[in-house]
Structure 1
Amino acid sequence: MARSKKKVGAYPSGMILFSLTLALFLIGFCGMLAIQSKKLVTYIRENYEMRAFLDKDLSEKKLTKLSKTIAERPYILKVNGTPQLNFVPKDVAAKEFIAETKEDFSKFLGENPLRDSYRIKLTEEYFEEAKLQQVKQDLEELDGIFEVVYQENLVDNINRNITKIYVVMSAFALILLLIIVVLMNNTIRLALHSQRMLIRSMQLVGATNGFITRPFLGRGMWQGLLAGVIAVILLLVGLQLAVHNLPEMATFQDVEKTAMLLGGIVGLGVLVGFLSTFQAVNRYLGLTLDELY
């Protein structure tokens, strides 16, 4: 029975496809974690409240004027054009305090010592100590504001921990990318090992390097594209399952960045398939006959 002829560019590809799909999935998973983390950080920062306590016995006219003045400040967070500025009367503040502490201070004080206040949410770029101090100083200069307070230690801790998380994730992503490049080069080189004699035979009959390389590169790019598409499908399925089981995650979705990430995964698959195949084929093109054996 005659053996089937080998075709240029035809080599075992199952392991390559599996390895590249797994690698791209891991990169995409890290990317999605980064996107979710960024949205979570933004959510935490934009929901942090600074409190501005007011002078006592302000008239409705002064309160209205003060509210408009604060709302016009550039550091005030706006959601759909609405300034995130919440007026809290002292009676409401007293009820909240009693509910938290389980102690009714009005029984032994005879009056409510608390003040009316505004709870203010700031834009994310002002969530750092120096800028918060500037905001505090600016607000306290307004007529009608008694004092502005915020939890300084909490802000420092949040920013410090966020920086650590970003450093760890960046280092992990770089290490993972390096491992993937080495893995794919070795996997494709081993797969092309079965084609080394065919490559040599074509060189002997006068085929140019470009003619020999072309079908391998086409196959490598096709494998990269297919692996990228499979990885994207797996990521989307995983994301939908996560949102289904944790509906709160829907708040932290960024459709635009997620689409860019998934497109980048497919493009990276094609690029890795092309470069790894190009490097592996060129290696065999440059070997002598003795080295081929």
Structure 2
Amino acid sequence: MIQQRKKYLPNFTVTVSLTIALFIIGLCGLLTIMGRKLSEVVKQNIEVQVYLEKGLTPGESDAIRKAIAAKPYVAKRNGQPQVSFMSKEAAADKFIKDTGENFRNFLGDNPLRDAMFVKVSEDYFSEAGLKQIKADLEKVDGVFEATYVENFVEEVNKNLAKIYLVLSVFVALLLIIIVVLVNNTIKLALYSQRFTIRSMQLVGATNGFIRRPFLYRGIVQGLLSAVFACVFLGVIIKLAFQYVEGINLLLGDWNKLATLAGVLALFGMVVGFLSTFQSVERYLRSSVERLY
């Protein structure tokens, strides 16, 4: 019983070490997916407010809406231009509801204007692009003014660039550390079998024949570790869906999550294969004195 435990303990240690490593890499991958999705959500909700001249008829307002919808920078969803209209009455009702103050009582009039909200295509997600859109919209007959939140786009782009840079550096350092640690763990696991390798050489087994079972086990360990890591990540995602409101908007792309799982599986098998190959080669070329 004790001998069997000693036999399987190194393999268990390798699997646990690789599982933890892949789990941490998977968390970094999830953060990257969430960051990219957040960027897409922000870009999809960038809009320009277009305020119309007063005294326009419904027909004139509709003509302006069609003219704006035909612009190349207007975002489309399911083939429909994302241009919405809000009358000044609806805007006043919304303002009163949000603030609880009825300005009509002391002004006696509604100073607001009919407005259109234009969602901008991601291709124009820049400060310069929005300035050009603002200038172009203000040239449309019947448009009083076009506005947007200035400097917001630049701040978003700068912050996203910083986040991606920090994540990239962290993942790169993590990969180096993980490869070194897993490689050393596999070396220690094979250390107990160095005499088995030497015995196989003495009976005439070729190096390829000796390597084959070890490499197969390394690949299986890598794949098994990736499965465990994906299970733990799945638990994290499930808990996030339950307790973090709106997280489904950032983690709802199952194709990317499936790709992440595939990358973890491939990485686990590659690390398991290469580390095992390197360790086996070391013992295949070692002299009898070095085995002791």
- Under a length normalisation based on structure 2, what TM-score does the superposition of the two structures give? 0.90
Cross-structure match for 1:199: 197
Secondary structure in 2 matching 1:53: strand
Amino acid at match of 1:266: A
- Offset of 1:137 from its aligned partner? 2.1
- Offset of 1:83 from its aligned partner? 2.5
Structure 2 Cα separation of the partners of residues 97 and 205 of structure 1: 89
- Offset of 1:227 from its aligned partner? 0.9
Structure 1 Cα separation of the partners of residues 19 and 85 of structure 2: 53
- Offset of 1:32 from its aligned partner? 1.4
Residue 38 and residue 66 in structure 1: after superposition, are their counterparts in 2 closer, same or farther (change >3 A)?
Answer: same
> Pairwise mapping of residues 52-201 of structure 1 onto structure 2 (< 5 A)?
52-98=50-96, 105-106=103-104, 109-201=107-199
Structure 2 Cα separation of the partners of residues 134 and 282 of structure 1: 63
Contact 1:224 1:266 in 2 (8 A): yes
Contact 1:11 1:192 in 2 (8 A): no
Contact 1:11 1:195 in 2 (8 A): no
Structure 1 gap ranges (5+): none
- Offset of 1:267 from its aligned partner? 1.5
Pairs aligned (count): 289
Amino acid at match of 1:212: I
Structure 2 Cα separation of the partners of residues 99 and 247 of structure 1: 25
- Offset of 1:150 from its aligned partner? 0.7
- Offset of 1:51 from its aligned partner? 0.5
Amino acid at match of 2:277: F
- Offset of 1:221 from its aligned partner? 0.5
Residue 33 and residue 4 in structure 1: after superposition, are their counterparts in 2 closer, same or farther (change >3 A)?
Answer: closer
Structure 2 Cα separation of the partners of residues 204 and 94 of structure 1: 92
Residue 4 and residue 207 in structure 1: after superposition, are their counterparts in 2 closer, same or farther (change >3 A)?
Answer: farther
Worse-superposed segment, 258-267 or 281-290: 281-290
Residue 25 and residue 49 in structure 1: after superposition, are their counterparts in 2 closer, same or farther (change >3 A)?
Answer: same
* Deviations 1:85-132, CA, capped at 9 Å, x for gaps: 221212333344455566655455543332211112222332211211
- Offset of 1:223 from its aligned partner? 0.7
Contact 1:228 1:266 in 2 (8 A): yes
Structure 1 Cα separation of the partners of residues 170 and 164 of structure 2: 10
The alignment status of 1:291 with 2:287, answered yes or no, reads: no
Equivalent position to 2:14, from 7, 13, 16: 16
Worse-superposed segment, 135-144 or 93-102: 93-102
- RMSD (Å), alpha carbons: 2.5
Residue 146 and residue 214 in structure 1: after superposition, are their counterparts in 2 closer, same or farther (change >3 A)?
Answer: same
- Under a length normalisation based on structure 1, what TM-score does the superposition of the two structures give? 0.89
